[in-house]
Structure 1
Amino acid sequence: MASAVKDTRPGYGQLLRTPGAWTFLLPGFLARQPFAMLTIGIVLLVESTTGSYGAAGTVSAATGVSMALFAPQSGKLADRFGQRAVLIPGVLVHVAGVAALITLALAHAPLWALFAVAVPTGASTPQVGPMVRARWAARLGGSPLMPTAAAFESVTDEFTFVVGPVLATALCTGIHPAAGLIAEAALTLAGGLLFASQRRSQPPVHRAQADGRPRASALSVPGVRVLIAAFLGIGAVFGGMQVSLTAFTQDIGQPGINGVLYGIFASGNMLAGIACGTIAWKVGPRRRLLVAYGLLALATTPLWTVTAVPLLGAVGLIVGLCIAPALITGYTLVESLVPAGARTEAFTWLTGAVALGQAAAATASGQLADRFGPNSGFLVPLAGTVLALAVLLTLRAHLVPRSSTKIVGAADRAGAGSATDSVAGSSSGGREQEPNEAPDEAAESVGSVTV
């Protein structure tokens, strides 16, 4: 699909003037709020009924793992049958799952029963963020506005992580331990159905390749697998921060400031995201990702040593500032690495990786907090980012965009709707990208924005 916006003066103003953008942005914003409330809502409810951060973290982890495993399948179905067909039943199952989880937790049901309900609850979590990103990609094609759209979506995600945890914490601590999850279910129902009703902005359905064969998974693109490792590390930061901040504020007798501290952390992410969308990058996205991730690993290093609330807020802010550039660059690379027919699936793989990393980190941080004290949980974000950085450095060659991949069919290579081809053509004078071209030159041709 040709770009719907002139490729002049890329920026937020130009992005938001994209025809039809507001029809999916506003419902999408409402529908993605619950994503930031689910994990912290489960942690606060289960901890209040069991008295254990370890139990709370593991139930939350069960939700996150099932979300991570089922999200890519949801994305693949959305690519093939349309977002509405996947979203509506998912919303209804998720609301029912949350209701059952609240009922069992308040009834002091055994832990295995909470796990059994947490699985369908996480699996049915609406993947609104990836769906919004797929709508941007369908609207913009190979436009230079795509990195700006990725930045805008990162800012939107992080704004939800400013509002969501604060709202969930305030409801759980000020009204009732289950109030956060009740609000999450209500927002999921209202926002999800409203977003699903916006049919005109849905990406085209891609059921099969031109020769009739089913499309292979986005996971067959090596660069997507590398990005999954990176996003697992980012998820480790989110999960480790949520559980560790909760344990820390409970330990010092100030549980009410948990949401504030996490909001400061998310605010740093949001502010960095805003800045990233306004910068005319002269460095390729692969190099930007490596630098941003290195800074993130460095920023998480002192977390476990901090015992003062103001200092912890300051360090959390710095960690947040380092997350956004890595997230934005990763999502931008997906648009150039993956053809349109598998793009929603690719976005959900990354979102699922964040959820899986968050779940594993929540479990590990909860266990560490129970056994060795609240500060020990902050070691998890450090370990997760260091391991992911090692993978990125080792496999960075796979992050170079190519003019074709294993899952691009004949229609993708020939059609104007292929964002990968339109980017390659515009950046190399209409020729295909040669495999032996310098990696950063290839990355730069796709990722730079001229303002």
Structure 2
Amino acid sequence: MPTSTSTSGSGVSPGGGKPGYRQLLRTPGVWAFLLPGFAARQPFAMLTIGMVLLVEHTTGSYGTAGATAAVTGVAMALCAPRGGRLADRFGQRTVLLPGVVLHAASVALLVTLALAHTPAWTLFAAAVPAGATVPQVGPMVRARWAVALNGSATAHPGANAALMTTAAAFESVTDEFTFVIGPVIATALCTGVHPAAGLIAEATLTLVGGILFATQTSTAPAPHPVRPGAAGKPASALSVPGVRALAVAFLGIGAVFGGMQVSLAAFTQEIDRPGINGLLYGTFAAGNMLAGVAYGAIAWRRSPRSRLLAAYAALALACAPLWAVHSVALLAPLGLLVGLCIAPALITGYTLVDALVPGASRTEAFTWLTGSVALGQAAAVTVAGLLADHAGSHAGFTVPLVGTALALVVLMGLRGRLVPRARGVIASGVIGHRPPVPVD
């Protein structure tokens, strides 16, 4: 059960302070990567909507626009873990610098093809590298938090274990804030300046923010290259059974994001009030942000595994009545409830990764989770769109329910794989151990 941060316990720092956002943001060196990291991850939220608005403008088809965006999402989901693994092996700067240049060039090519009214297949082809080169700044920031909190020789293990949950909550809130303001900026640019302005701004921010973030080498995790003569390559983070279980869980979370986006848009069209779509989705996103802030301010006594299972079960239950709601008065608070249930599942999943995988695979593990969300979202957007076209928005709202219910069944079956195993770390000739993790 949770206890407030005013309660003493294992999460108390050596100096008597309680783990919380104030203590977290006082961690030495974190602002060096937080500010450029925020700028570099902002374009990710602008990419999809900017692409949809530009392609729809040049082709007159939402179907072509949606398909182009879906290709981008799938390409990102499939390539992100490989990029994360390369960052673990060769360092974030080595991977990020050429990556942001390639991404900006790919987006520029897509813009050029769209404005030239080339066939749809050329847009799909250009969407592949645009998605494959999306810089995984969010996972890289999370990896830097782990280094900042766990790498200090004077760190207090109990306090840092609690602060890792706070850091995961902080990142969840940052991601959600990004996805609230990013689409607004992209939409304003596309409608008020030029249909291509959203994507041009996305590519520019990616390039500038990515370079600034990459230059902060002092806060980056040390690379773990394969040494000459070493037996084989380092195992993929996906070889860890717990990471596979979490990837399935995050597919279900992606189904909630994608299903809600399409179904809310379809619902507001059906009631002839499309203008409130932003309000309804904003309420859903606000629930996620509020829950993230509150979740990170609590010093939890329950194990991460039990918290994840409870949060995911609550999320599936919250999604259950969506398909039966046919009024704004009911859908708004229900959307808020769904949003409140997402953040605890996301935050606990990211917290578990740090305990499940070795530091040499941490960035890759984070990218498997973000890639799973993107893949689940791409699939949900497609399925919910087809269902809404043929049977109405209420049918589209079944996608979040089915996605979370199936993922919950898998998660329950694999719950035994979510218990971190103790592993030693050799440092300066002394064998150290991770802080003990509570087990159900």
Q: TM-score range by the shorter chain?
A: 0.7 to 0.9
Q: Would you say 1:134 and 2:143 are equivalent positions?
A: yes
Q: CA–CA distance in 1 between the matches of 2:169 and 2:229?
A: 36
> Which position in structure 2 is the counterpart of 1:448?
none
8 Å contact 1:172–1:179 — kept in the other structure?
A: yes
Taking the aligned partners of 2:384 and 2:30, their CA distance within structure 1 comes to 39
Given that residues 170 and 256 in structure 1 are in contact (C-alpha distance below 8 angstroms), is that contact kept between their aligned partners in structure 2? no
Q: Distance in 2 between matches of 1:76 and 1:30?
A: 23
Superposition TM-score, scaled by structure 2 size: 0.88
* Aligned CA distance change for structure 1 residues 209 and 314 (closer, same or farther; 3 Å): farther
Tell whether 2:172 aligns with 1:154: yes
Contact 1:56 1:366 in 2 (8 A): no
Cα shift at 1:155: 1.1
Aligned partner (choices 194, 199, 215) of residue 217 of structure 2? 199
Aligned counterpart, 1:74: 83
The aligned residue for residue 425 of structure 2 is: 413
Q: By how many angstroms is 1:13 displaced?
A: 0.8
Q: SS of 1:280's equivalent?
A: strand
Distance change (3 Å), C-alpha of 1:220 and 1:415: farther
The one-letter code sitting in structure 2 at the alignment partner of 1:332 is T
In the alignment, is the contact (CA less than 8 A) between 1:31 and 1:192 conserved in 2?
yes
C-alpha deviation, 1:384, in angstroms = 1.1
Which region of structure 1 is more displaced relative to structure 2, 309-318 or 291-300? 309-318
Partner-residue secondary structure (3-state), 2:218: coil
Write the mapping of 1:413-432 to structure 2, written as runs, cut at 5 A.
413-415=425-427, 422-423=433-434, 426-427=435-436
Q: Which residue is equivalent to 1:434?
A: none
Partners of 1:303 and 1:95 lie apart in 2 by 39
CA distance 1:257–1:50, change in 2 (3 Å): farther
The one of 26, 50, 72 equivalent to 1:63 is: 72
Distance 1:225 1:387, change over 3 A: same
> Pick from 269, 282, 287: which aligns with 1:268?
287
Asked if 1 retains the 8 angstrom alpha-carbon contact of 2:19 and 2:299, the reply is no
2:414 pairs with 1:442: no
Over the aligned positions, Cα root-mean-square deviation in angstroms equals 2.5
2:208 is aligned with 1:190: yes
Look up the equivalent residue of 1:29 and give its one-letter code.
F
Displacement of 1:319 in angstroms is 1.1
Range 308-317 or range 338-347, more displaced: 308-317
How much has 1:175 moved relative to structure 2? 4.3
| Partner residue in 2 for 1:409 | none
Q: How far is 1:33 from its partner?
A: 1.0
Deviates more, 1:84-93 or 1:253-262: 253-262
- What stretches of structure 2 of length at least 5 have no aligned partner? 1-12, 151-156
Q: Structure 1 residues 154, 76: closer, same or farther in 2, change over 3 A?
A: same
The answer (yes or no) to whether the contact 1:237–1:380 under 8 Å persists in 2 is: yes
What letter matches 1:442 in structure 2? Answer: V
Correspondence list, 1:68-147, <5 A: 68-141=77-150, 143-144=160-161, 145-147=163-165
Which amino acid is 1:242 matched to?
A: Q
Contact 1:403-1:421 at 8 Å conserved across structures: no
Segment of structure 1 superposing worse, 56-65 or 368-377: 368-377
Moved more, 56-65 or 73-82: 56-65
Letter in 1 for 2:344: P
Asked whether the equivalents of residues 57 and 366 of structure 1 are also in contact (C-alpha less than 8 Å), the reply is no
Query: Which of 4, 25, 29 is residue 38 of structure 2 equivalent to?
Result: 29
Q: 1:331 aligns with which of 350, 370, 376?
A: 350
Q: Deviations over 1:259-285 (max 9, x none)?
A: 333222211111100001111212111
* Shift in alpha-carbon separation, 1:197–1:20, aligned structure 2, 3 A: same
The answer to whether 1:400 aligns with 2:419 is: yes
Q: Is the 8 A contact 2:258 2:381 kept in 1?
A: yes
Match of residue 365, structure 2, among 337, 340, 346: 346
CA separation in 1, counterparts of 2:29 and 2:118? 47
Shift of 1:56: 3.1
Shift of 1:427: 2.6
The 1:111–1:306 alpha-carbon spacing in structure 2 relative to 1, beyond 3 Å, is farther
Q: Deviations over 1:61-98 (max 9, x none)?
A: 21111101111111111111111111111111112222
Give 2:259's aligned residue: 240
- Following TM superposition, by how much is the alpha carbon of 1:176 offset from its aligned partner in structure 2, in angstroms? 4.2
Q: Which runs of 5+ in 1 are unaligned?
A: 405-411, 429-440, 444-451
Q: Deviations over 1:337-381 (max 9, x none)?
A: 001011011001111111111111111122223333344322222
Within the candidate set 245, 257, 262, 1:226 is matched to: 245
Q: Which residues of 2 match residues 281-292 of structure 1 at below 5 A?
A: 281-292=300-311
1:356 pairs with 2:375: yes
**Which position in structure 1 is the counterpart of 2:10?**
none
Q: Which moved more, 1:10-19 or 1:302-311?
A: 302-311
1:149-170 deviation per Cα after TM superposition (whole angstroms, max 9, x unaligned)? 1111111111112212232333
For residue 31 of structure 1, report the CA deviation from its aligned partner: 1.0
Cα gap change, 1:248/1:176 in structure 2, threshold over 3 Å: closer, same or farther?
farther
Describe how 1:10-25 pairs up with structure 2 within 5 A.
10-25=19-34
Counterpart position of 1:432: none
